[in-house]
Structure 1
Amino acid sequence: MNRHFLLLFSLFCLIAEATSLRCVTCHLRTLSDHCRRGFGICQAEKYETCMSLRIYTNNTLQISYMVCQRFCNNLTYSFNNRTYVHKCCNYDYCNFKT
């Protein structure tokens, strides 16, 4: 019986791993479209989604930041001649595309 339990538990773990939301991470992405710091992949945990923060000056992208984020909210605001666009999404690698 223990062998059957271990087999079912292992199968459950594989399914759970395969269905986890994956997001791109980059802590500093520049105008040249290269990640300068923190490039990788994160797996969202409970209550997390993919998040991107993009900072624009005069409608020109300056830098962006991408991570898995808990309790993410879509938000756009302006401050000191910069526009900050905070976007959240919930399918694999969506924060790299938005």
Structure 2
Amino acid sequence: MNKCVLGLFSLFCLIMAAASLKCATCHLQITGERCRRDFGICVAQKDESCMVLKVVYNFSLVLSYMDCQKFCKTGKYAINRRVYRYTCCKSNYCNRLI
């Protein structure tokens, strides 16, 4: 009986891991360089999607940030001469392609 329960639990965990949304993470990437901080993968929880934030200064990409984000909203904000672009998506590793 215990082996059956353990087997079913393992199968459930495997299915949940395969069905979960996976996003790339990088908490600091400067243009033209590799990720400097926290490169990896996050598994999106409930109400989360993949997000990338790109900071543009004088029409040039300065840095980007990728992670799982709760209640993510795609948008663009301008402060001084910097433009902050948030892009959200809901397919595996989609924030690496943006």
Cα-to-partner distance string for 1:39-83 (whole Å, 9 max, x where unaligned) = 111111111111110000122100000011111111101111111
Q: Which residue of 2 aligns with 1:34?
A: 34
> 2 CA distance for matches of 1:33 and 1:60?
14
Tell me how far 1:6 sits from its aligned partner.
2.4
Partner letter of residue 20 of structure 2?
S
Q: Which residue of 1 aligns with 2:53?
A: 53
Q: Which residue of 1 aligns with 2:25?
A: 25
> 2 CA distance for matches of 1:33 and 1:68?
22
Identity score, percent: 51
Tell me how far 1:4 sits from its aligned partner.
2.4
Tell me how far 1:33 sits from its aligned partner.
3.8
> 2 CA distance for matches of 1:31 and 1:6?
47
Q: State the secondary structure of the residue aligned to 1:56.
A: strand
Compare 32-41 and 20-29 and name the one that shifted more: 32-41
Q: State the secondary structure of the residue aligned to 2:73.
A: coil
Give unpaired runs (5+ residues) of structure 2: none
> 1 CA distance for matches of 2:33 and 2:97?
12
Q: Which residue of 2 aligns with 1:14?
A: 14
Tell me how far 1:18 sits from its aligned partner.
1.0
Taking structure 2 as the reference length, the TM-score comes to 0.92
Compare 73-82 and 4-13 and name the one that shifted more: 4-13
Tell me how far 1:8 sits from its aligned partner.
1.7
Tell me how far 1:10 sits from its aligned partner.
1.4
